[in-house]
Structure 1
Amino acid sequence: MYNEKKRTITTERLLIRPFELSDAQRVSELCNNYNVYKSTLTLPYPYPIESARIWIQTHEENFNNNRYYEFAITDKHTHELYGAIGLSNHPIHRNGEFGYWIGEEYWGRGYATEATKALISFAFSEKHYHKVYARFFASNPASGRVMQKVGMVEEGRLVHHVYKENKYEDLIHYGILNTGV
C-alpha cells in the first residue's frame, strides 16, 4: 500500500521508503560486493561511501520531477536495509523500467519478488503506467525468476548487448502490461 505523504510502500514484510543520507554507509557496505556488482548494469565496484552519498542526493529531485522513483527496501519492523528498487518514468509512452539490487546476505528470501510486486502496483495504480519492463543479464537467471513470479513475460533477448568483465553479456527483456487500464 502506497502512502503518498510519506512516499512509502508497505507490504507484508517490507517498508519500501525513500533513501536518507544516513543510509549511505549501509548502501556502501552492501554494494561493495563483487557478486552484487556483477549482476547489475550500472553499479560501480568498488563502491565507496561517497558514491552512495552522491547517489542518494539525486533521489529527491528525480522523484519531484517524475524522472525516477528510487526506494530503499527495508524490513517493516526492524528497518534493516536489504537493498534498493527504482523505477524510471517515460510519460510519453506511459511506461518505465525498474531495476533493483539486494545485498548478498539477503538473497533467496523473496525480498526482491515482494518489492518488485509492490513497485509494479505503484507504477500501475499511482503513476498510471501502461507497461513496466526490466532487463537482466542472462548470467543472472535469479532475476528472471523474480520477474516470472510477479507475472512478467519474456519479450526478447538483446544478444551481446553489454560488455562487462571482459566479455559480452546478453540482456533478457521482460515486461508486464497494466490490464486494468
Structure 2
Amino acid sequence: MEFVLRKWKPEDAASILEYANNEKIAAALRNAFPHPYTLEDAKAYIRACIEKGGDRQVTRAILVNGHAAGSIGMFFGTDVYEKSAELGYWLGEPFWGQGIMSEAVIRMCRYVFAKYDIERIFAEPFAGNRASRRVLEKAGFTLEGVLRSSVYKNGMLQDSCMYALLRR
C-alpha cells in the first residue's frame, strides 16, 4: 500500500485522533501514549513534534490515502549515547499487516543515516509484540537481547527486546 512520510502539520490532529484512540496501540507503547487518546493529546503531540524537530529528533506523520494514520520518529541520544538514536513508531489498526511500517522504518533509517552523524539506531519493543518485532526484522534490525521483566505496563511486568541497526 502506498504511503508518504512528511513533517507534522497542526491540521493532522483530527486524523491522528481517529487512529490513535485505540487500546491495542496504547497497550504496545510506553505510558506517555495515553488511552483514551483525546484531541488535546493529538494537538500536544503534533506541537511537540514541530517544536522539537531538527537537532534532537526527527518525527514524521505516516500518511495513508492523504490522512495521518500513524507516526514514526528518531530520538537522538546524548552524552555517551550521542551516536545512537531510538526509533519509535505506531500505525492505525486498519493498516496493520500491509507492509507500511516496515517500509516506513527502512525509509526513516536511510534518511537518518544519510543526514545525521549517527552510528546506531535501536528500538525496544515489548517481547510479546510479535508484529513490531517482525517490522524491525524485515527492516534489517538485529535482536541483541531480551531484557527480562524490564517493562511495567498495565499492572504487569513484561520482557522487552533490544533491536539495533548499525550504519556499517
TM-score range, shorter chain: over 0.9
**Once the 2 structures are TM-superposed, how far is the Cα of residue 119 of structure 1 from its aligned partner?**
0.7
The number of aligned residues is 165
Structure 1 unaligned regions, length at least 5: 1-11
Structure 2 unaligned regions, length at least 5: none
2:166 — aligned with what? 177
Of 49, 62, 81 in structure 2, the residue corresponding to residue 73 of structure 1 is 62
Partner amino acid for 1:55?
Y
**Once the 2 structures are TM-superposed, how far is the Cα of residue 156 of structure 1 from its aligned partner?**
1.2
Does residue 137 of structure 1 match 2:119? no
2:40 — aligned with what? 50
CA–CA distance in structure 1, aligned partners of residues 16 and 6 of structure 2:
14
Partner amino acid for 1:143?
S
**Once the 2 structures are TM-superposed, how far is the Cα of residue 91 of structure 1 from its aligned partner?**
5.7
Corresponding residue SS for 1:129? coil
Does residue 63 of structure 1 match 2:53? yes
> 2:145 touches 2:163 (CA, 8 Å); kept in 1?
yes
- Give the TM-score normalised by the residue count of structure 1: 0.86
Of 69, 73, 76 in structure 2, the residue corresponding to residue 89 of structure 1 is 76
> 2:15 touches 2:69 (CA, 8 Å); kept in 1?
no
Identity of aligned residues (%): 30
Query: Any residues of structure 2 matched to 1:140-151 within 5 Å, and which?
Result: 140-151=129-140
CA–CA distance in structure 1, aligned partners of residues 41 and 68 of structure 2:
17
Task: Report the structure, 1 or 2, having the larger helix content.
Answer: 2
CA–CA distance in structure 2, aligned partners of residues 129 and 91 of structure 1:
11
- For 1:96-154, what per-residue CA distance to the aligned partner results, in whole angstroms no more than 9, with x for missing partners? 00110000011001111010000110111111311110010111111111111111101
2:16 — aligned with what? 27
Partner amino acid for 1:16?
L
